[in-house]
Amino acid sequence: MRRLGLPRAGRALRMKTQEYQASLNGLNIFFGAILGVSVGGIETLAPVPFMMLLFMVAAVVIAILYISASPHRIAYAVILMTALGLVLLLRAPTDLLFGSIPLPDKLLPTLIVWTAAVIVVEFSPRESTSRPVGGDG
């Protein structure tokens, strides 16, 4: 009886556990550094807008990490990409959300690309044992 599933070559392309973790760690380190560059200049904000922007960015970063760590990864991926897309379309999201806090120009593109990259890694084919229940990526 023939086994159903990927051909041998397709199975060989599945990520191993270590490759999956390396991918997530690499993305998180790289985009963490880029995020630091992206928010350059916010030190000139008044204390309350500064805190609010930090809170907003921290919430998005946590949601990005939840995509790979939560059993509800599909929900986090959909909600986060929808929210970031809506913010991008509004063009003045901080006016709507917080008053007059200016978003750094490169912040939103950085968060969108980071989210998309994590989604690609998370939903790429992996060995069946490669999906950690609560990974730290």
Determine the pLDDT at residue 14.
86
Is residue 32 in a domain? yes
- Work out the widest C-alpha separation in the chain, in whole angstroms: 70
Determine the pLDDT at residue 53.
85
Determine the pLDDT at residue 136.
45
Determine the pLDDT at residue 91.
58
Determine the pLDDT at residue 55.
87
Determine the pLDDT at residue 132.
53
Q: Which domain holds residue 116?
A: 15-126
Is residue 51 in a domain? yes
Q: What is the domain count for the chain?
A: 1
A 10 A CB-CB count for 86 gives 11
Determine the pLDDT at residue 94.
52
Determine the pLDDT at residue 83.
84
Is residue 131 in a domain? no
| Nearest C-alpha neighbor of 112 from the set 90, 81, 89 | 81
Is residue 20 in a domain? yes
Mean per-residue pLDDT pooled into runs of 10, the chain (137 residues): 54 84 95 91 84 87 91 90 78 55 82 93 81 49
Determine the pLDDT at residue 25.
95
Determine the pLDDT at residue 56.
85
In three-state secondary structure terms, 15 is: strand
Is residue 68 in a domain? yes
